[in-house]
Amino acid sequence: MPTVNLNRKEVENLVGKKLDLAKLKDRVSMLGTDLDDITDDEIIVEIFPNRPDMLSEQGFSRALSSFIGIKPGLRDYKVKKSNDKVIIENSVREVRPFTACAIVKNLKFDEENIKSIIQIQEKLHIGFGRNRRKAAIGIYPLEKIKFPVRFIALPPEEIKFIPLESLEEMNGKEILEKHPTGKEYAHLLNKNDKYPLFIDANKNILSMPPIINSETVGRITDETTEVFIECSGFDFNILNKCLNIIVTALADMNGEIYSLNLEYEKNTETTPNLTPEEMELNLDYVNKMLGLNLKESEIKELLERMGHEYRNKKVKIPAYRSDILHEIDLIEDIAIAYGYENFKEEIPNVSTIGEESYLTKFKRKIAEALIGLELIECSSFHLSNKTTLNEKMRTKNKLTMVESAVNADYDTLRNFLLPNLLEILSRNKRYEYPQNIFEMGTVFDENIKEHESLCIVKSEKDVNFTKIKQVLDVLMSSLDIPYEIEELSYPWFIEGRAGEIIVNNKKIGMLGELNPEVLINWNLEMPASVLELNINMLIEHNNA
Amino acid sequence: MPYVKKVKIKGKEYWYLFHTVREGNKYLKKSKYLGKELPKNIEEIKKEFLTGIREPSSKHSKLIESLTPLERKVLPLLSKHTKLSSLVKETGLKEIEVMRSLQWLSNKEIIKIKKITREVVKLDKNGELYLKKGLPEKRFLSALDKPRTMQEIMDIANLDKNELTVSLGILKRKNLIEIGKEIKKLKEDSSIRKKEEFLKSLPSPLKDLDWGIITELKSRKEIIKEDIEKEREVSLTSLGKELLKENLKINLLESLTPEMLREKSFAGKKFRRYDIKINVPRIYNGRRHFVNQAIDYARRVWTDLGFKEMSGPIINTSFWNFDALFQPQDHPARDLQDSIFLNEKGELPKFFKDKVKDMHELGYEKSKGWQYSWDEETAKKLVMRTHTTVLSALTLSELKKTDLPAKFFAIGKNFRNETVDWSHGFEFNQTEGIVIDPNANFRHLLGYLKEFFKKMGFPEIRFRPAYFPYTEISCEMDVYHPIHKKWIELGGAGIFRPEVVIPLLGEDIPVLAWGPGFDRIIMDYYKINDIRELYKNDLKVLREMKVWLK
């Protein structure tokens, strides 16, 4: 979730009222943003991904002022017609097929405004634009551009311009290889033969989206008063929303919005389109879902407090909102306006019978038996590593690694619990012996099948096979499961002092005295006897 | 003195032992039954009887009765001996036993133990040897019963070359010998005896010794060495001095043995009093891991509220973990750097696959859906569950309409691809719940959660708006920490979107759902600040951590 730092004074100006700190904190939290902090200068707030329209001071203040009842209802944003056009050529179809564009005039940029525009752009890129993959935004000083602007794709070698923050001209390839921003986003383009470009009627390159603007034509300064805005990406609807969010923010800085005609190969679109969407609302459904008894007039008022307009069971939704997919989304807006703090919690009189899973109950019985033997339960991670699972255990089992693990020590699914318990013992050598421990947990076999495993390790001076077999005896007799032991060798046990545990002719586990080589691998100075068995197979036996 | 008397009871005669004692102003008659015959060892019995009943007259009687046999052995010696070493010698006990009894005596404030360090002079290798064999110069001189050659002297006095040279030097310097062809003794040396006595007195504190001798012997090879010695010096407190005047030789019983029970030999005797306040060595019981204790409690709370436990796999297809929950395929949580994926694919459920696909791409008559092209291969990718909500999705898919209303819960581990630090782990616990009830509403959601957290020890809860792709109305819940006086963020809840419910359940029925984190509550209860402590498996912590007492 993106965190934005909003200029507090600017927000207060836009809201049109200065709120005291406690009230402001409360209202911001209850509006549906996660407040981090409010300082003298800033409101630091996390904006949820469903409300990208609130990433700017303008959008945030717009929502807040409606919410606290100062400016409720739908805002009217006028779009004037310009006769300028943007031509989208076929060549972009493979790389970045769509764009939505607009012009905004009558702006007065100062340092604050520019910062705020850059912030919306950046935050939209990260979340809504999925790191520029889904949507990327470019803003350019209008006076340097001659229409019609073309959206085209060219081989990277043929693209030459001076990118922002650079002194020299580079070609498309060089930008991806050398320019810091180019390197960061290179993966979005470098698999393509052609890279997309906005280029004006004077053949000046505006930008190479979604990477970077041109230094000469694509830099906003405090002298800029009119801007050309484009959003490019793969989904026209999304780009429209993105554009709407930007232009309405600029309009709230007193900008005047002008539309552009987009000439696609087969059709022409005019953007931005700020016509509110309409959705029907079933008032009974509202009250049923919320557990309230709201009258139509109340619902109308609550919707207006979220910036909507209500008339006759129909809701007009502002064009910068991208998150209203279903009636239920409007109901949530009603709930927010009503105030979550005003809902009275209720436990309904619905009778159902509670029950734990059989596995839970069974594991508890095992734990009780083992605790009676003074064993201590441990709990380790499901992820481990090859050294722990194979090398230290003197074995070469097939292991399953996870993808792109950030922790190299935890990049492999554990296939049995014993290595983890030995690691625990190796970290606890300074404490008193006997150290008798156990764990129950999920392990993953080489086919990534899961089962619950039980592992017990007894470590003390005189421990031997008898002592672990005694534990097995206690456990199996309390569970009333007869078993047999068959001799078998394991790399981690002493030959002739280990075997498999057999229940109903099925192998369900193993037990034995730990091989001294393994003990040494774990840096252990005390002998240990071990058993590990499959809990699910015990349950199957008991249920059969 | 006790006296023996025959007593007639119902015509029969029995022997008794009697003794009168004074307790304060009263006189009490004590008696002991001896049998029908007068025992042969009557004198012994009399003695025991006396020690058994004699109330040590002083106010220290309880204290004396609490002295262990070791203490009673050591204490009388303390008026003369103040050093550990000499106490060991005197008592014939092991050093550790003397130390222990001194510690006990000191615990009872009978003595004070002072640890002192001082410089001492000790015998070195040759010093020990010479103490047995005599100093070389002494041996040299005593070989000179008449003038002799060097070789003769070496043989008779058993001197090596070095010892010979040293002896020659010393004796010559003091003019005790004359060296010619043969060596002649001029006079006896009185200083040799002094030196030998000096050696015998070692080890001794440096400050008590003759500097002249030290200087000479130190210049010679490995006769003496200086060392730092730690010694314990014991002194009696005023209480100790008083005790020494008392009779410490009382006969007390130590352990009660099966023999004593059989023979009733404890009768009439006293047991030594214990210091019941003394610390005892720690023993450990078997225990469940403290996290599992907490989880077990939470399970009971859910079952008490009528919830059935869900269980299911940790590794699932992305389909169940994300797609079935209406999480679009380009959602950031589905990035490699956020979730732990496996380089393997799983099967998609035929019955649900297209329903979910349609919902993502087109929605349904009341929803716009996400309007993108849904990719089956992305959905097949296996992932370690990122939330227990996957269990809710699986449960919904198996639910029949006749089962409704129904409530389910799960408490389980989830995984995210995150580096580990004090506040983050790649494994975390969540407590999941769903209520499938045609009449359920948002207030019920808040009601269930409030009740659960009240039972977890947090009666105050607040709900704030939040966003999750699979719930709408969504909320975030915080509980109020009554001691730290601040809100603890626990995680999310909401009502499943119709886009989630319809493909899985076949129709739009409200499903209340939540999955707040559980680890922070566990950490708070056990006063753990670092999340890594939860799974560190430090045996001391596992052995000594308080149990979950809710």
> Which of A352, A360, A403 is closest, CB to CB, to B336?
A403
Cα–Cα distance, A117 to A120 (Å, whole number): 5
The third-level CATH classification (topology) of the domain covering A278-340 is: Phenylalanyl-tRNA Synthetase; Chain B, domain 1 (3.30.56)
At B194 the pLDDT is: 81
At B53 the pLDDT is: 62
At B232 the pLDDT is: 80
> Which of B417, B420, B497 is closest, CB to CB, to A328?
B497
Average pLDDT, integer, range B74-78: 88
Cα–Cα distance, A536 to A442 (Å, whole number): 10
Provide the token pair at B45: 């019995």
Q: Is the dihedral of CA A187, A193, A199, A205 positive or negative?
A: positive
Q: What is the pLDDT of residues A118-143, one digit of tens each?
A: 888 999 998 888 889 899 999 999 99
B441: distance to nearest CA of chain A, Å? Answer: 5
Cα–Cα distance, A173 to A179 (Å, whole number): 10
B474 touches chain A (CB under 8 A): yes
B459 touches chain A (CB under 8 A): no
Query: Domain extents for chain A?
Result: 3-67, 79-271, 278-340, 358-543
Provide the token pair at B43: 């004198």
Could you tell me which residue, B177 or A531, shows the higher pLDDT? Answer: A531
Mean pLDDT for chain B overall: 87
B490: distance to nearest CA of chain A, Å? Answer: 13
Give which of A406, A427, A535 to mutate to test B binding, by max B Cβ within 10 Å. A406
B455: distance to nearest CA of chain A, Å? Answer: 14
At A335 the pLDDT is: 97
At B231 the pLDDT is: 76
> CATH top-level class for A3-67?
alpha beta
Is-contact A199 A214, C-beta < 8 A?
Answer: no
**Residue in chain A lying closest to B334 (CA):** A130
Q: How confident is the model at residue A1 (pLDDT cuts 50, 70, 90)?
A: low
Examine the pLDDT at B54 and tell me if it is beyond 60: no
Segment among A283-287, B113-117, B201-205 with least mean pLDDT: B201-205
Q: How confident is the model at residue B252 (pLDDT cuts 50, 70, 90)?
A: confident
CB atoms under 10 Å from CB of B310, counted, come to: 21
Cα–Cα distance, B161 to B284 (Å, whole number): 66
Q: What is the pLDDT of residues A230-257, one digit of tens each?
A: 999 999 989 999 999 999 999 999 999 9
Q: How confident is the model at residue A415 (pLDDT cuts 50, 70, 90)?
A: very high
Q: How confident is the model at residue B124 (pLDDT cuts 50, 70, 90)?
A: confident
B257: distance to nearest CA of chain A, Å? Answer: 27
Average pLDDT, integer, range A185-191: 90
Examine the pLDDT at B186 and tell me if it is beyond 90: no
Examine the pLDDT at A25 and tell me if it is beyond 70: yes
> Which of B369, B443, B537 is closest, CB to CB, to A346?
B443
Q: How confident is the model at residue B23 (pLDDT cuts 50, 70, 90)?
A: low
Between chain A and chain B, how many beta carbons pairs sit less than 8 Å apart? 239
Q: How confident is the model at residue B275 (pLDDT cuts 50, 70, 90)?
A: confident
Examine the pLDDT at B50 and tell me if it is beyond 80: no
CATH number of A358-543: 3.30.930.10
Examine the pLDDT at B292 and tell me if it is beyond 90: yes
What would you report as the CA-atom Rg of chain A, rounded to the nearest whole angstrom?
A: 33
Cα–Cα distance, A34 to A28 (Å, whole number): 8
**Residue in chain A lying closest to B446 (CA):** A345
At A359 the pLDDT is: 95
Could you tell me which residue, A202 or B423, shows the higher pLDDT? Answer: A202
Q: How confident is the model at residue B25 (pLDDT cuts 50, 70, 90)?
A: low
CATH number of A79-271: 3.50.40.10
φ, ψ at B463 (rounded to 5°): -120, 135
ipTM of the complex: 0.91
C-alpha closest to that of A217 among A201, A229, A205, A232 = A205
Domains and CATH numbers, chain B: 1-55 (no CATH), 125-222 (1.10.10), 291-313+386-544 (3.30.930.10)
Cα–Cα distance, B316 to B335 (Å, whole number): 16
Specify the 3-state DSSP secondary structure of A274: coil
The residue to which tokens 């554009």 are assigned: A243
Segment among A150-154, A362-366, B272-276 with least mean pLDDT: B272-276
Tell me which chain A residues have a C-beta less than 8 angstroms from the C-beta of B474.
332
Average pLDDT, integer, range B111-140: 84
Q: How confident is the model at residue A486 (pLDDT cuts 50, 70, 90)?
A: very high
Is-contact B6 B14, C-beta < 8 A?
Answer: yes
b/e A283-316 (16+ beta carbons within 10 angstroms → b): eeebbbbbbbebeeeebbbbbbbbbbbbeeeebb
User: CA torsion angle for A122, A45, B427, B303 (degrees, to 10)?
Assistant: -140
Average pLDDT, integer, range A280-305: 96
Segment among A82-86, A331-335, B178-182, B238-242 with least mean pLDDT: B178-182
Tell me which chain A residues have a C-beta less than 8 angstroms from the C-beta of B415.
382-383
Specify the 3-state DSSP secondary structure of B303: helix
Examine the pLDDT at A32 and tell me if it is beyond 70: yes
> Which of A49, A327, A437 is closest, CB to CB, to B467?
A49
C-alpha closest to that of B48 among B266, B272, B274, B273 = B266
At B132 the pLDDT is: 83
B85: distance to nearest CA of chain A, Å? Answer: 32
Cα–Cα distance, B247 to B76 (Å, whole number): 10
| Cβ within 8 Å, pair A378-B292 | no
Segment among A482-486, A529-533, B278-282 with least mean pLDDT: B278-282
Strand partners, A376: A437, B287
| Cβ within 8 Å, pair A347-B472 | no
> Which of B286, B371, B495 is closest, CB to CB, to A376?
B286
Q: Do the two domains A3-67 and A278-340 of this chain adopt the same fold?
A: yes
Cα–Cα distance, A304 to A63 (Å, whole number): 10
Is-contact A270 A118, C-beta < 8 A?
Answer: no
Specify the 3-state DSSP secondary structure of A143: helix
Cα–Cα distance, B71 to A354 (Å, whole number): 63
Is-contact A467 A458, C-beta < 8 A?
Answer: yes
CB atoms under 10 Å from CB of B418, counted, come to: 17
Is-contact A532 A416, C-beta < 8 A?
Answer: yes
Could you tell me which residue, A438 or B231, shows the higher pLDDT? Answer: A438
At B2 the pLDDT is: 78
At B57 the pLDDT is: 53
C-alpha closest to that of B348 among B372, B391, B379 = B379
Segment among A498-502, B135-139, B238-242, B463-467 with least mean pLDDT: B135-139
Cα–Cα distance, B314 to A118 (Å, whole number): 42
> Which of A48, A343, A428 is closest, CB to CB, to B467?
A48
Cα–Cα distance, B393 to B103 (Å, whole number): 67
Q: How confident is the model at residue B38 (pLDDT cuts 50, 70, 90)?
A: confident
Provide the token pair at B548: 């979950």
User: CA torsion angle for B219, B223, B227, B231 (degrees, to 10)?
Assistant: -140
Examine the pLDDT at B60 and tell me if it is beyond 60: yes
C-alpha closest to that of A199 among A117, A99, A336, A273 = A99
Q: How confident is the model at residue B123 (pLDDT cuts 50, 70, 90)?
A: confident
Mean pLDDT for chain A overall: 93
Examine the pLDDT at B321 and tell me if it is beyond 80: yes
Share of chain A above pLDDT 90, in %: 83
Q: Residues, chain B, total?
A: 550
| Cβ within 8 Å, pair A332-B474 | yes
Is-contact B323 B360, C-beta < 8 A?
Answer: yes
At A453 the pLDDT is: 98
Provide the token pair at A357: 């899973």
Q: What is the pLDDT of residues B348-357, one digit of tens each?
A: 999 999 999 9
